Chain A
Amino acid sequence: MKIHVYAGLKDYFEPEFEVEGEARNTDELKTLLVAINGKAEAMLSSCRFAVEEGFIDNAYKLKSHDTIVIIPPSSGG
Chain B
Amino acid sequence: MTPSSSFRPVVEGREAAGVARGLSAEPIDMAGMLAGAHHPGAGAVVLFSGEVRDNNRGRPVSFLEYEAYRPLAEKMIGEILAEAKSRWVLQTAVAQHRTGIVAVGDTAVVVITASAHRGEAYAANRYIIDRIKHEAPIWKCEHYADGTHEWGNNCNCHAVTGDVSKHIYESEG
Taking the nearest CB of chain B, how far is it from the CB of A50, in angstroms? 6
Q: How many residues of B contact A (CB 8 A)?
A: 32
With A53-B72, A75-B154, A77-B108 known to touch, is A7 a contact of B141 (CB < 8 Å)? yes
Write the residues of chain B forming the contact surface with A, with a CB cutoff of 8 angstroms: 50, 66-69, 71-72, 75, 97, 108-109, 129, 132-141, 151-158, 164-165
Question: Are B69 and A75 closer than 8 Å at their CB atoms?
Answer: no
Residues of B within 8 Å of A77, CB to CB, are: 50, 97, 108-109, 129, 132-133, 138, 140
Write the residues of chain A forming the contact surface with B, with a CB cutoff of 8 angstroms: 4, 6-8, 11, 46-48, 50, 53-55, 69, 71-77
Question: Are A6 and B50 closer than 8 Å at their CB atoms?
Answer: no
Residues of A within 8 Å of B132, CB to CB, are: 76-77
Give 23 pairs: A residue, B residue, CB < 8 Å, sorted on A. A6-B67, A6-B137, A7-B151, A47-B164, A48-B164, A50-B69, A55-B72, A55-B165, A69-B72, A71-B69, A71-B137, A72-B139, A73-B156, A74-B135, A74-B138, A74-B139, A74-B154, A75-B140, A75-B153, A75-B154, A76-B66, A76-B97, A76-B136
